[in-house]
Structure 1
């Protein structure tokens, strides 16, 4: 069932275009045909040919290449920015964990020395 729907879309577009020209011609099929021919002729006249077409194609390719290069550069800059941000978060988290571990360690040592003092008191040592 994974068929392409391009044919369906092309048919819908063709029907829509046909309906448009029939509407403009007032429902006259011959008039619609003449309008289609006239519009096609105008489009053919406005389309670049020969060297103009080649230059237009080169210009479009150059602009596309520039856009792609800018998009790639932008993506690289964003990735570098996110990587540095992630590294900064990692460093901050590591510092916080070390600080918390040192606090816990000092508290454990303090409680251990208190317990040692209490045990020593039971056995007569101070």
Structure 2
């Protein structure tokens, strides 16, 4: 008895795995596929016309579940594409910001050099003027 139970459980697990795999990992789609196959088996066993409507309805549910899964996949793909665009824009912004910072740093350095050179020229000119004025009044230097 216990062995038959284990074998039956193993067959059920394999069957569930098959439907889960066929549905691409979507449990609702797997359930719809199982129900559609069960309706087809029922129809084949009875071979009567009234079950044909049930079979068609179950097939439509499978198609709807598959369409929903595909819509979810496409939406996820669109979100990934948007995320990639956002990443590229952020990279461009960071690169531009780095370039601006480097330009400002270079400009600041060049400005400081120019101010220092100007100060030196002004000091030299002031020393020359001071020595020239002092010589007029008889002072040294």
Identify which of structures 1 and 2 has the higher relative contact order when contacts are C-alpha pairs closer than 8 Å and 6+ apart.
2
Count of aligned pairs? 79
Larger Rg: 2
Two-structure CA RMSD over aligned residues (Å)? 1.3
Whole-angstrom CA distance in 1 between matches of 2:135 and 2:108: 40
Structure 1 unmatched runs, 5+: 1-47
Deviations 1:65-104 (A, max 9, x none): 0000001111111111111110000000000000000000
The CA distance in 2 between the partners of 1:95 and 1:103, in whole Å, is 12
* Length-normalised TM-score, structure 1: 0.60
Please tell me whether residue 110 in structure 1 is matched to residue 114 in structure 2: no
- Aligned partners of 1:63 and 1:112: how far apart in 2? 73
Query: What TM-score, normalized to structure 2?
Result: 0.54
Instruction: List alignment gaps of at least 5 residues for structure 2.
Output: 1-61
CA–CA distance in structure 2, aligned partners of residues 70 and 125 of structure 1: 78
Q: Which residue of 2 aligns with 1:53?
A: 67
Distance, in Å, in 2 between the alignment partners of 1:80 and 1:103 is 35
Q: 1:10-68 CA distances to partner (integer Å, 9 max, x unpaired)?
A: xxxxxxxxxxxxxxxxxxxxxxxxxxxxxxxxxxxxxx941221111011101100000
Match of 1:78 in 2: 92
